[in-house]
Structure 1
Amino acid sequence: MKLLRSVSGRFPFNLPSSFIILQISSLIPYIHFFVISSANRQSLLAAIGRRHFAVSADDYAKRNYANNVSEYNTVIGSLTSQRRNWLLRDVYDDMMLDGVKPEKDTFRSLIAGSMKGVRLQDCFFFRDQMKSMGLIPDVVLYNFMISTCGKCKNSTEATRIFEEMKKLEVKPNGQTFICLINACAAAGRVDQVYAIIRDMTAAGLGLNKFCYAGLIAAHKNKTPLAADTSAKVKILELVEQSKGWSSLEQTRDSAENVMMGISEEELYNIPTANYIHRRGGFVLRFLTVYHVAFQACADLKDVQAVDALQEMLKKGNNNPDVFILIQIMRCYLNSGDIDRGLKVFEDYMNSGSPPMGELYTTLIEGAMVGYTPKGMEIALDKLKEMNSRRFNLLPATGNALLLVASGEKTGGYTIANMVWDLMQARNIVPSLPAVQAYYNGLKDREIPEDDPRLVVVSSTLDNLRVRFGRGPGQFGDRR
């Protein structure tokens, strides 16, 4: 209910308790009506929409954040851009309470926002609500839902959505097939991916770079990993085959997607989706297949395949972009070859290209693998250098570094302490697993109970446990 959510803090309105009681009381007749007869749901919502307030119209207008479908659409777009996607269901409920009927564009924004927030159940809810109002989702909305299934690695639901399209006679387009390919690829369903590609070719659709990216991801995600799907056999073979795709066969960003700020990389769950708008040569979009291939090889720690991919890239007269360099560094560092990883970093820094914070964090995290003296020294030096260059830690990278640094069993715990201090300076609340690991590392060093750092970490840990409903004994807690 709108008024109750206002009090709970989801929306920034302050209402007196007497006012809240009045509003709850005013709803009792409608609740009684609902218990007696629930046959006409729309009539009930319309009735609840006619609320009686004990305040003036001016006061209510100040507290209410939307009054018509246009204003609600604006609120939905704002929440999506702010990545507050968990509030979309609340906004929809408020529309119902206000008796405002959503339009097709409203549902389009709601499902697109749910896709961006990876909220699959919300996508299904809005689809069902849309159909209950006599509105049939179009191919764009179905593409959003299939894409969300891919983000959740749920190929079963993606296939069901595709079958639903057929029953409702919604004609799939090229983007639909590619969304389905990448949804199945995320779950490692290689056979399904090839079956979809056969359907595409039978329908007269040619393969493009995103199809090959899906094939590579499917082989990498297949469990258990078969012997013939090693990086240097299957992935290299697919990269070579992808060179034959024609620019005439590429899909285009639809007008709806462009207006909503949804790139093809985001729609198809390509690894570069979060960096696609970065400048300075961070991502070169025509290297999509290489992006997926390098990341797959880095995940598999296949150094030989990474070297082979670099040769293929060089033969094509292409230079690696920053994203590819990050994957090369990851592969070398995670395989224990610190020197080669450091050389990739230094070559880039000496090239005159703009420095990137992601290169620093990749080197720092990778150098800590195995917690060798040399690696820890390099990690500490680069962390200090990164801080001196005023590269701020982002919440995700800060948590990743804190979690890895907290695993150090010997030494002065310098890196973990520094990462914690940098996050505190930016008012970043660490994740529960990262705080738990850091707390355990401090306790292993027999720090006095009244130590200021330990007191702050312990307090943060207790607050996070209350917030997420966790109890002692989880995430390796030894307290």
Structure 2
Amino acid sequence: MIPRRLLSSWPRHCRAAAPATRRRLFSADASPEYARRNYASNLAEYNTVISSLISQRRNFLLRDVYDDMMLDGVQPVRDTFHSLIVGCMKGSRLQDAFFFRDEMKAMGLPPDVNLYNFLISTCGKCKSSDAAIKLLEEMKRHGVKLKGETYICLLNACAATGRTDQVLALVRDMAAVGLNKFCYAGLIAAYKNKLPTTDETFAKIIEYVQASKGWSSVEASTESGENVMMNVSEEELYNIPTAEYVHRRGFINRQLTVYHVALHACAELRSKETMETLLDMLKTDGYAYDVFTAMQAMRCYFHCGDIDSGVKIFDEYISSKPPTAELFVTLIEGAMVGYTPKGMQLAQDTLEKMIARGFFLNPRMGSDLLLAAAGEKTGGYTTANYIWDILQSRKIYPYLPAVEAYYKGLKQREIPSDDPRLVLVGRTYDNLSLRSGRRYD
């Protein structure tokens, strides 16, 4: 029997003959086993598998599914390629996205404007602005009519690498038809990512937030039917920091997109003064904090070493609104910045309060906190151990980078080699490493 993964490494002309080869290899006696292992056999089933993988964020498996389609002799259609490329965009897999683009062309299916938008967005996620510009040139060569969102995708792709010159040129071209909030978000992101960071950076952030107030909320949504069908929000298409929260009811106020991007920039650049100016502007405009705003204000204070102000933001928010797990996790992770005794104790106390209030860690949150706690070089490692124990009690296994950091941190301490915790973490690390195909010492 020839495994699918082995067949997928064959040259294209050999893969084309693979379905007949496989039918000859599987006799009548072997067909029940083949049927048991074969997860899809026609286009509808493969499309369902692709949609399922995207919803589970297992986008790294899309190439394998596509190879299996080819081996089964199943011909993908335009909608199949759109789903595959959207999955690559969501998973930030640029090489796979271009592979599917090339396969699509080879089958006589020229990409349309929506697919190009997804490809340009993927370039932005992968910080490859040059590739995004080449895609725009390709669209023009093939006579693909550009849409307004194409330019916004390109603007935000250039912003991801701090190319302020290109971003400003695009804005000048778009000014005649009017700028929306995502254009201002791109301008702010461009200055956030431009190196080196100077006083101009923070002045521009405030300037563009002020300028964005002329944007009318009547234009609030320009989402195309294609994007809605593909479950791609404008925030995700344009790589806005709130993209993962936009479907959470009551989590963000979408009218505050420019403020969200600006506050996120302040947290990343550790500018407490600019952040406080923005919060004052937000209040003057008559807006209350949403969850994302509170999270970024807390992150900024913690990154600047101001633990008390970060805690104050948290306390003020939950005094009037229900807390969320993300707020607790932001407080816990922020308290661990610098690994001060005060911060580590606060992190552990907050974690206990979080669990007591019925909030639990999912694999992603748990992995983020374990990875942060594992960086503690001194002390009793109690916070990292506590996070690990919480995850174990709910049978949640953290992601490999977090387990690796925790395992190495344990080995650096004076712990007997047969210690049950060290043995369990080591075994988990070995299993995750094998599954990921990584080599390790």
Matched, 1:393 2:348: no
CA distance in structure 1 between the aligned counterparts of 2:68 and 2:368, rounded to whole angstroms: 38
Cα distance in 1 for partners of 2:69, 2:186 equals 39
Which residue number corresponds to residue 308 of structure 1?
277
Give the CA deviation at 1:451. Answer: 1.6
| TM-aligned CA deviation for residue 395 of structure 1 | 2.4
Q: 2:193, 2:311 → 1: CA distance?
A: 28
Equivalent in the alignment of 1:476: none
- Say which of 208, 212, 217 aligns to 1:238: 208
Equivalent runs, 1:288-327 vs 2, <5 Å: 288-327=257-296
Mapped pair 1:4 → 2:9:
no
Does 1:278 pair with 2:248? yes
Compute the displacement of 1:261 (Å).
Answer: 0.9
SS at the partner of 1:165? helix
Q: Tell me which structure has the larger Cα radius of gyration.
A: 1
Contact 2:69–2:75 under 8 Å retained in 1: yes
Aligned equivalents of 1:459, 1:63: Cα separation in 2? 29
Distance in 2 (alpha carbons) for counterparts of 1:434 and 1:98: 38
Letter in 2 for 1:416: A
| Runs of at least 5 residues in structure 1 that lack an aligned partner in the other structure | 9-23, 473-479
Q: Tell me the equivalent position of 1:355.
A: 323
- 2:226 corresponds to 1:266: no
The answer as to whether partners of 2:188 and 2:261 remain within 8 angstroms in 1 is yes
Aligned 8 A contact 2:189 2:265 in 1: yes
Deviations 1:162-217 (A, max 9, x none): 1100011001101111111111111111111111222323xx43210001001100
Determine if contact 2:16/2:71 at 8 Å carries over to the other structure: no
SS at the partner of 1:243?
A: helix
Match for 2:303 among 316, 331, 334?
334
Distance in 1 between the 2:17 and 2:420 partners?
57
Q: TM-score, normalised by structure 1?
A: 0.85
CA–CA distance in structure 1, aligned partners of residues 104 and 63 of structure 2: 13
Deviations, residues 327-353 of structure 1 (Å, cap 9, x unaligned) = 0001111111111111111112221x2
Report the CA distance between 1:56 and its aligned residue: 6.7
Residue 91 of structure 2: aligned partner: 117
2:412 paired with 1:454:
no
Residue 242 of structure 2 aligns to a residue whose secondary structure is helix
Contact 2:92–2:122 (8 Å) recurs in 1: yes
Which amino acid letter does the alignment assign opposite residue 340 of structure 1?
Answer: S
- Conserved in 1, the CA contact under 8 Å of 2:391 and 2:397? yes
Map of 1:24-423 to 2, 5 A cutoff?
44=17, 53-55=26-28, 59=32, 63-201=37-175, 204-229=176-201, 231=202, 233-249=203-219, 252-279=222-249, 281-351=250-320, 353-423=321-391
Q: Distance in 1 between matches of 2:273 and 2:267?
A: 11
Deviations 1:57-84 (A, max 9, x none): 9835555433332332222222222222
Paired with 1:67 and 1:367, the residues of 2 have a C-alpha distance of 51
Report the Cα offset of residue 252 of structure 1. Answer: 1.1
Q: TM-score, normalised by structure 2?
A: 0.92
User: Would you say the 8 A contact 1:330–1:366 is kept in 2?
Assistant: yes
| 1:312-371 deviation line (CA, Å, top 9, x unaligned) | 1011111110001000001111111111111111112221x2221111111111112222
Q: Matched residues in 2 for 1:102 and 1:364: separation?
A: 46
Q: 1:51 to 1:76 in 2, by over 3 A?
A: farther
CA contact (8 A) 1:50 1:98 kept: no
Quick one: structure 1 residues 171 and 339, their matched pair in 2 at CA, closer, same or farther if it must change by over 3 Å?
same
Query: Contact conserved, 1:131 with 1:137, CA < 8 A, in 2?
Result: yes
Do 2:15 and 2:71's aligned partners in 1 also have CA atoms closer than 8 Å?
Answer: no
CA contact (8 A) 2:97 2:119 kept: yes
Aligned counterpart, 1:475: none
Cα deviations across residues 93-147 of structure 1 (Å, max 9, x unaligned)? 2222222222111111111122112211111111111111111110000001001
SS in 1 for 2:195: coil
Q: Which amino acid aligns with 1:205?
A: V
| 126-135 or 136-145, which deviates more | 126-135
Counterparts of 2:91 and 2:398, CA distance in 1: 20
Does the aligned pair in 2 maintain the 1:119–1:148 contact within 8 Å?
yes
What SS does structure 2 have at the residue aligned with 1:350? helix
Deviations 1:405-435 (A, max 9, x none): 2233443321111011112223333344433
CA distance in 2, matches of 1:421, 1:43: 51
Distance verdict in 2 for CA 1:216–1:55, change over 3 Å: same
1:457-468 paired onto structure 2 within 5 Å: 457-466=425-434, 467-468=436-437
The structure-2 alpha-carbon separation of the partners of 1:69 and 1:437, relative to structure 1 and needing over 3 Å to count, comes to closer
Gaps of 5+ in 2: none
- Could you tell me whether the CA contact under 8 Å between 2:217 and 2:255 is conserved in 1? no
Paired with 1:445 and 1:50, the residues of 2 have a C-alpha distance of: 57
**Which amino acid counterpart does residue 347 of structure 2 have in structure 1?**
A
Which region of structure 1 is more displaced relative to structure 2, 363-372 or 331-340? 363-372
- Percent identity at matched positions? 61
Rounded to whole Å, the distance in 1 between the matches of 2:338 and 2:61 is: 42
Report the AA paired with residue 241 of structure 1.
A
> CA, structure 1 residues 150+304, in 2 after alignment: closer, same or farther (shift >3 Å)?
same
Residue 253 of structure 1 aligns to which amino acid in structure 2? E
SS at match of 2:292: helix
Per-residue CA distance 1:213-272 (angstroms, 9 max, x = gap)? 01100100012223411x2x1101100000012345555111111111111111111101
Instruction: Identify which range, 154-163 or 367-376, moves more after superposition.
Output: 367-376
Contact 1:49 1:99 in 2 (8 A): no
Task: Quote the offset at 1:464 in angstroms.
Answer: 4.2
Distance 2:425 2:25 in 1: 48
